Amino acid sequence: MENRLYLMLIEAEAASSTHLIVGRRYLINCFAVAESPDGAKAPVDSFFSKFGWRNIDIQKIKEVPLRLSAIPTPELKEAARKAAEKGVGYVVYDKPVNGGPANAARAKTKPVNTKPANTTH
């Protein structure tokens, strides 16, 4: 099988941070290179847990084109580039989600308009 680029919308609770409020939930757009959606989702919990995230919930996953021109913002393009190079790249949005996972659907259209706290790999 061939590796593909996947984009996941994740909601998780900040357990430790210099930029975020500990205990609040935040949206994360995460790109991962894998052979399948299940392969992209498999390491998410352990990957984000080691960076201080808890109660990690993958809201949505989709395969995205490898063309960076199809990705709407510079932060997401940089995260996609990092995923292509290192396997994972992500953007954390610094506006907390009100409530828990049930409210993530309402927030799904907001991340593009929200300035990210950081982009990393």
Q: By the 8 A CB rule, do 20 and 78 touch?
A: no
Model pLDDT for residues 29-74, shown as the tens digit of each residue: 999 999 999 999 999 999 999 988 999 999 999 999 887 788 889 9
Q: Which two tokens stand for residue 75?
A: 């932060």
Q: pLDDT tens digits, residue range 15-40?
A: 877 789 999 999 999 999 999 999 99
Mean pLDDT of the chain, nearest integer: 83
- Beginning with the edge strand found earlier in the chain, give each strand of the sheet holding 25-34 in spatial order: 53-63, 4-14, 25-34, 88-93, 116-120
Residue ranges per structural domain of the chain = 4-120
Query: CA-based Rg of the chain, rounded to a whole angstrom?
Result: 13
What pLDDT is stored for residue 67 in this prediction?
Answer: 79
Asked whether residue 85 carries a pLDDT value surpassing 80, the answer given is: yes
Dihedral sign (CA 61, 6, 107, 69): negative
pLDDT at 109: 35
